[in-house]
Amino acid sequence: MAIQLSRRSFLKGSLAAAGAVAATSAPAAAVKGAKGGRHLATLIDIDKCIGCGACVEACRDANYEKYPEAKKPFPKMYPNRVPVEDWSDDQYASDRLTPYNLLFIQEAVVDVDGEERFLTVPRRCMHCVNPPCVKLCPWGAAQQYKNGISRIDKDICLGGSKCRKVCPWHIPQRQTGAGLYLELLPSFAGNGIMTKCDRCCDRVAGGGVPACIEACPEGAQIIGPRDEIVRKAHELADETGGYIYGETENGGTNTLYVSPVPFEELNKAVDKGKGRPHFKPAENTMAKANNLVLGMAIAPIAGIAAAWGKQIVADNKKKEKPEHIKEGTDHDNA
């Protein structure tokens, strides 16, 4: 069958194609613009999200190869208190974060200017500017790239879940029965692998954009260098009378939300708990210890000064002593 192509349909198709290319190439250009050590950040306009779940599906399609492959039966772990966390039989659970669901839609019914509204919020790793999950991982299994993306290397992770405990939002999720610990001392150390959003780091490294952003039909999420994203978040908040989350939380994150309601209210309205992060204020978790590093710089100087000073005092005493003896000798001779 021959395809009938009118001038009108050709123009319409061309415009649609050009629009699609522009839509995907604009964020791709933004991703490239973040090279050279600038962090990439995303801006999520909660007002635009319709909760369709396209981002969740796109995330699964893009990341299914990274999912843990749990081997059963799980090794018996000692002591008995060590919990088994198994999502391998419930991989399609989508109402919270799991090792097989790195992004989920959180729901809230809130009051906006006297009108009851149903808000939907995509939730995943916040990609902190200084991520405690990465910095405090005892094995270096969690890593951060220069573009600000943090990820957990499933080939190295032992599943101790320290990353989840130190994360202000308790984002990483554990799957028992997978990973390196099975090759070491599976009964006595480790408990699987931890997983979280890695912002489609492979796609981004190739100049692409994360799958969730590409799939969003509403353009609720954009990506770009962090300073530009912060500026856009402020512009959006000023335009809409909205509120920003992520700019300063935990010292700043590379995920910024703009909400039509204060985050205190949004936090009260969302379902929180395991795998369902909050929207509370989050203090800078790494700051207190990092402030002590100044002490690490000063302490050696103080130590050197103390030893040097002590030696000078000792030398002076030695110099004084012979003169005293000499004087005494002269006196005796006299």
Partner 1 sequence: MTTRNAAIPPVRYGYGLLMFLLALTGFAQMPIFKRYYIADIPGLGWLAMFYVTHYLHYIGAVLILGLAAYFVTAYFRTRPERPKLTPTGYLRAGLIGVILVTGLLLAVKNFPGYVFPPGAVILLDLVHLGSVFVFIPTALYCWAFSKKWINSPSKGDVKGVN
Residues of this chain that bind partner 1 (CB under 8 A): 37, 79, 81-82, 129-130, 135-136, 138-140, 143-146, 153, 156, 160-162, 165-166, 189, 251, 285-286, 288-290, 292-293, 295-296, 299-304, 306-308, 310-311, 315
What is the 3-state composition of the chain as percent helix, strand, coil, each rounded to the nearest 5?
40, 15, 45
| 35/146 with CB nearer partner 1 | 146
Joined together, the tokens standing for residue 82 give: 């060590």
Query: How far apart are CB 317 and partner 1 at their closest, in Å?
Result: 13
Query: How far apart are CB 255 and partner 1 at their closest, in Å?
Result: 16
Query: How far apart are CB 160 and partner 1 at their closest, in Å?
Result: 4
DSSP assignment string, 238-268: HHHT-EEESSSGGG-BSEEEEESS-HHHHHH
In the chain, DSSP assigns E strands to 40-45, 104-112, 115-123, 142-144, 150-152, 173-175, 193-195, 221-225, 243-245, 255-259
Query: How far apart are CB 34 and partner 1 at their closest, in Å?
Result: 14
Query: How far apart are CB 329 and partner 1 at their closest, in Å?
Result: 22
| 42/253 with CB nearer partner 1 | 253
| 29/307 with CB nearer partner 1 | 307
| 37/114 with CB nearer partner 1 | 37
Rounded to whole angstroms, the Cα distance separating 90 from 62 reads 19
DSSP state at residue 183: G
| 16/302 with CB nearer partner 1 | 302
In contact, 174 and 99? CB cutoff 8 Å: yes
